[in-house]
Amino acid sequence: MRRAQAARSALLASHPTAQVALLQMDTSSISSVIAAAQEVKLSHIITMFATGEGILTQKDGITADGLQEVFATNLFGHFLLIRELEPVLCREGRTSQLIWTSSSNAHRSAFNMEDVQHRKGTQPYSSSKYASDLLSLALNTHYNKQGLYSSVICPGFVMTNLTYGILPSFPAFLWTLLMPLFWLIRMFTNTFTLTPYNGAEALFWLFKQKPESLDPQAKYHSLTSGLGRNYTQPRKMDIDLETSGALYEKLLQLESEVRKKLKEKHSRPA
């Protein structure tokens, strides 16, 4: 283990944001193998709760405008609002800042450029959050020269009524009983912010920065140490300029279609 710790330290010195976990196991010892397996399973449970992967209930529907509900709520409605407020947000001599609330559940694997609304998929929430990461980068590409800057935060795992709604349907008292376990898990993962106050850390931190100094390809995470200290840490997002640009064009096309339908609807005689 001493050699392993040294190797881990060397890796982290050259790649500070890497996640390197050590597992001690002697395959000639049955008890060692079983103990190691238990450790892996515990680590897997912690990862599931920290990211929501595999436990989120991702339901979707259709809006009155014929759009996928999660896509419209988490992404397209915000995009349309930005487009409408462009004259206000982009004013000469002034700097404006957009901050998207993303998620650690924003996965590239859930997103499909040929199905940006996620009509055919089963992970609409993950898809919409990954799309918001992409859109933030695209907005910076198109609007930075006009003084508008976009950033992305992740509040971590926060226990709110919204969280209860997308986690498995356990009775409320059971979640109360699980809270001490969550506090214990926070000793192993700093993404367990748990309270809205802690989850707002990155949002508050960003408001104190100059928007132009922020990394457009970083997601700023609210983190809480096992001892309860709140801090913000940027982590590179799994996004690229080409994909973000393609999504932006798709959204512009959808915007044009939606506006056309709205105009036709209002022009029809009562």
Q: Which residues are catalytic?
A: 125
> What is the 3-class SS of 129-159, one letter each residue?
HHHHHHHHHHHHHHHHHHCEEEEEEECCCEC
Q: Which helix (H) or strand (E) holds 38?
A: helix 30-51
CA separation for the pair 121, 111 (Å, rounded): 9
Between the alpha carbon of residue 264 and those of residues 83, 101, 251, the distances in Å are 20, 34, 20
Residues 8, 9, 14, CA angle at the centre, nearest 5°?
100
Query: 50-80: b or e for each residue (b if 16 or more CB lie within 10 Å)?
Result: bbbbeebebebeeeeeebbbbbbbbbbeebb
CA separation for the pair 234, 221 (Å, rounded): 6
Reference 146, options 97, 100, 101; nearest CA is 97
DSSP label of 115:
G
Identify whether the C-beta of residue 220 lies closer than 8 Å to the C-beta of residue 154.
yes
- The bridge status of strand 148-154 relative to strand 96-101 is parallel
- The bridge status of strand 218-224 relative to strand 230-236 is antiparallel
Phi-psi region of 135 (alpha: psi -120 to 50; beta: other; left: phi over 0): alpha
Residues 172, 174, 178, CA angle at the centre, nearest 5°?
120
